[in-house]
Structure formats: C-alpha cells, structure tokens
Structure 1
Amino acid sequence: MRSERNIMKLADHLNSKVSFQFVPLLNQQIIEQSLTARPTLAERNDRFNVYYQAILAYKAALFQGKRKGRSFLLNMQSAVVDHHRTFSQDLALELAKDCQLDLDMFVEDCDSDLAKQAFQTDQKLAAEMKVQQSSSAVIFNCSASQCGLLLNDVTYESLCDVCESQGVATKEMLMTEPTYPQNNQAASAGGDLHPHLHVL
C-alpha cells in the first residue's frame, strides 16, 4: 500500500504526465511471507485462494475505470492492512459499493474469464520484468529509453532519486508540495498527451 501511495504522490508532484499501472503479483514467495513458520499445504492453498480472489476483485473494479479500480485497491488494502479485516466477498462488495461500482457488473466480472486472463497477463508481465517482490516498481522514462529500471523498495525518496537521475525532475522540486495553476493551464500548455514517465 505504501508503494502505491508513493507512486501516486510522485505523479501528483511531477509537472510532466506520468502513466502508472498497479500490477498485482502473486507467487510462492509472497504466500510464504504472509504465513507463519512451517505452514501446511492447506494453509498455503487457502492463502493463495484469498489473494487470488482479492486480485480478481481488483481486476473487476478496474474494468469499470482506472480511477475506480485504484480507489478499490487502496480501500481494500486499507481495510486489510490498517483495519485488520479479512478479505471476503462481503468485504469486496462493501468496498465496491463505497467506490460506486456497478455491483451487478462487479460480481459478474469477479468470476469472469476476462478477470482471470488479466491476472495471468499480469503474472507474465511481472515475470518478464523480473519482479518477484510485491512492493516493486519498474520505471520507464519514455522520452529517453525503452529500458525500465526495477526498484524493489519503492520509497518516495527512491522514486525521486530515479527521476533526478533520469533528468525528469530535481529531487528538491519533488520534495516540495506541488502548486497547481488555475484551470489546469499547465496540463494543456504543451498539448503533450504522451507520458514522460511510465511506472508499473
């Protein structure tokens, strides 16, 4: 959850357009880290199924728009991490309602082949980019290179360091609170709709 918030904070502070996508990762290492020492096979399978259902719910929320999907993800993480709630279908429906999702569509999409395919695509993408930890990010400076930089610990400071080293922004600028022009003049000034920075 901290990683996602740091990425959103970075996007908020940069003057250039930032494209970011949260890719849920589910692998054996993540399951092992979430369990106590020497879990049984049944415990591993149960934990996998809970995480898998949570990811499918996130994917279903994304089908109704990126902002709603991100809101659902952050609310789900807050409920589970901050408020120590166990993920369940009831919690997913509660969060979907809070995010103003179409509930019938959400329920249908949670169990759809499309959500399952999206999960598989995400896992392939993570494997291709050598991502193995859940709090990782791959950063692309689209104006300079097609190669990405893998960060395994996504702190705001590490994101600022990457931006500075790539010539995207100075660390000093990113550490200050952003100022927003009226009527979003800065966003339309250049007319450039292509992102300069892409974060996965």
Structure 2
Amino acid sequence: MFEVYLFVNPACLKCLNSEREVTKVTEKLNCKVCLRFIPFISLGSINEANLLHIDSYQMTIDYKAALYQGGKKGRQFLQLIQELTLVKKRNYNDELAYHAALAVNLDLDMFKEDRLSSMVKENVSSDQKLVQEMGITNHDSLVMFDCNSSEHGVLVEKINNSQLKELFSDVINRNSFYNLKKLPNLRVL
C-alpha cells in the first residue's frame, strides 16, 4: 500500500490539474493507494487569491468539512469548487459552496454544521503542521510512502505529469525508493 500526499493551494489552477492527474494515475495502479490532498496555505497564496476574489482559507475549511463525508466526496468537492472559481471565474461564497456540496451529494445540513466546527479548523491547523514537518516549501509537491516495505518516503517538488507516471512506475516495479531514477526535484525523506 502506498500513501500519497499532494500539497495543493485551493486557489491554484496548476494544482487542480495536478490533482486530476494524480487521481487518474493512482486509479490505474494495480495496488492500494491512499490519496490525500493537503491544502498548503501560505501568505503569498492568500494574497494572490485575494486579488482573484477567491478565499483560499474558506475553501480549505469547506474542503476539510466535505472530507468528513468521505475522502472521495471531499476530493470531488475540492475539484468542483476549484473548477467553478478558477476556470469559470465565479466568486467563492456560501452559495457556491452549498451548490458544490449538493452537486457531489454531500448532506448539506451536515456540511453547513461541519464547516463552522472548531474541529475542522483544528484539522486545517494540523495540515499546516504536516506541511512544516515534511519540509514542504511549494504547493504542487507530492510526498509518497510505501507502507509495506520502507520507512522512507520521497518528496517531489513542482511535480509534472511525466514525472508522476515515472515515479509510480519506478516505485511499483522496483519496490524501493532508493532505486529511483534521480529526478532533479526528488528527495528521499
């Protein structure tokens, strides 16, 4: 089993594309993969998002609230709100969040309650601690752990589609992070 963490900025179109690619690649693998999108909120990304009328922090809170109803639904919710704000250029607000929640079949009353809970805010804070612990400096970074054969993981910063496919292929075929072809932006953790 592999654990994959993709660190994303909810207000970043490149991150949305990476989320879609990582999802597509992991669904095609012949092994179990636990995929997690971790919102990475930096002051720079919040300032950029504010210029775009996108509230990165509220999007992150809402994504974490959606995750309470299942990981897959949460990821679908995140990608839909990104599509609506980044591609269709709609402002992020409560109405858009509720529309997205219904579109991915979330229980709307539960979603409304969860997005206001202190536990969701604590989860966001825990994610930011994870970002620091793993040494993440850029959104669009991927960390992968092989839970079966290694205590080590790999960090790939600013991942692109070809690197993603190569990384998964190498790890699965060789069952080791140490035998990976060295990518310039890859580090063994």
TM bucket (normalised to shorter chain) is 0.7 to 0.9
Distance 1:29 1:146 in 2: 33
Give the equivalent residue in structure 1 for 2:20: 5
Larger Rg: 1
Contact conserved, 1:30 with 1:133, CA < 8 A, in 2?
no
TM-score normalised by L of structure 1: 0.73
What's the counterpart of residue 12 of structure 2?
Answer: none
Structure ranking higher in strand proportion:
2
Q: Deviations over 1:1-56 (max 9, x none)?
A: 011111111112211111111111111232345466xxxxxx9xx86xx2111111
Q: In the alignment, residue 110 of structure 2 is paired with which amino acid?
A: M
CA RMSD of aligned residues (A): 2.0
- Structure 2 unmatched ranges of 5 or more: 1-15, 175-189
Give 5+ residue unaligned stretches, structure 1.
37-42, 171-200
Q: Contact (CA 8 Å) 2:46, 2:57: kept in 1 or not? A: no
Considering Cα pairs closer than 8 Å and 6+ residues apart, tell me whether 1 or 2 has the greater RCO: 1
Provide TM-score, normalisation by structure 2.
0.77
For 1:137, the equivalent position in structure 2 comes to: 142
CA distance in 2, matches of 1:124, 1:35: 23
Q: What percent identity do the matched residue pairs reach?
A: 34
Give me the whole-angstrom Cα distance separating, in 2, the residues matched to 1:12 and 1:105: 28
Query: Judging changes above 3 Å, is the alpha-carbon distance between structure 1 residues 35 and 68 closer, same or farther for their aligned structure 2 residues?
Result: closer
CA contact (8 A) 1:6 1:154 kept: no
Q: 2:123 aligned with 1:115, yes or no?
A: no
Give the match's secondary structure for 1:149: strand
Q: Report if the CA contact (8 A) 2:139-2:158 is conserved.
A: no
Aligned to 1:20: 35
